[in-house]
Amino acid sequence: MIAEIEQRLVKQPRQLLNPGIYTFINPYSYLVLRKQPELTELLDGVAVDGGFLCWLLRRCGYGEVQRLSFDNTSLAPQVFSQAQAKEQSVYLIGSAERDNRRFVEYLQWRYPQLKVLGHRNGYFANQQMWRQTLSEVVKLAPDIVVCGMGCGLQERFLTALKHEGWQGWGFSCGGFMHQTSRHGEQYYPAWVDRMNLRFAFRIYDEPVLIKRYTVDYLKFAGVFAWDQWRRRYGAR
């Protein structure tokens, strides 16, 4: 693991108590963020989304790393429930327009007192629209921003918000919005979640991810082994 990620590794939920920008990595997103150390340096915390990667990190001496993901099997219910209880406001950005709207409808049903200040899809026609959205979110000043635009872009948007002066909790959420909008509150069947077969279910549900879980994960194995060799022996 590159130093920028290691220094920001979130092992327990309590490490997310302070406002900041947090993202969640799996083998694929590890490869993406590994190439962008200048972006990773702006993050306040990097948690691990995946039982296998947690196990691998523990075996490599990173301590008791827990799986943390921004979905309904992990952190999302805690974040939204606490936001509702504490009257904290939320802004939601990501996914296609239809899925984004349906996700907001789900949240309003599940957390009826939750303050949703605004929401939009995760696609931008140009840089002007990107900058305009940043300005709008900063002006709204939500306590929490949840962003699901795919690895790399979602982290870039959240860190850009922070650069523009916004202060609060920013969470990346990957495909959580469109998964929930299409399948409801329980995306993963209980037995899939219990047996840590979430990756297999995602392949079944989204066959387009086959390359990610085969070619990219094999690439991750080699890259991760190389990073650990450099970490141990100080190679540059």
Terminal CA-to-CA distance of the chain, rounded, Å?
13
pLDDT at residue 52, rounded to an integer:
87
Instruction: Profile the chain (236 residues) by mean pLDDT over runs of 10 residues.
Output: 82 93 94 90 94 91 93 95 97 97 96 97 96 97 97 96 96 93 74 70 66 80 92 72
Mention every residue, 6+ apart, whose C-beta is less than 8 A from residue 202: 209, 213
pLDDT at residue 92, rounded to an integer:
98
pLDDT at residue 199, rounded to an integer:
64
Beta carbons of 60 and 30 less than 8 angstroms apart? no
Instruction: Determine whether 101 is exposed, middle or buried from the number of CB atoms within 10 Å of its CB (0-12, 13-18, 19+).
Output: middle
Instruction: Tell me 213's DSSP state.
Output: I
CB atoms within 10 A of CB 121: 18
pLDDT at residue 186, rounded to an integer:
73
DSSP H/E element including 115: strand 115-120
pLDDT at residue 75, rounded to an integer:
96
pLDDT at residue 231, rounded to an integer:
86
pLDDT at residue 41, rounded to an integer:
92
Using alpha carbons, list the distances in angstroms from residue 152 to 19, 187, 194. 20, 24, 29
Whole-number Å distance between alpha carbons of 10 and 46: 6
pLDDT at residue 9, rounded to an integer:
93
Mention every residue, 6+ apart, whose C-beta is less than 8 A from residue 191: none
Q: How many domains does the chain have?
A: 1
Residue 91: give the domain boundaries: 3-233
Whole-number Å distance between alpha carbons of 92 and 147: 6
Using alpha carbons, list the distances in angstroms from residue 140 to 27, 79, 81. 34, 19, 21
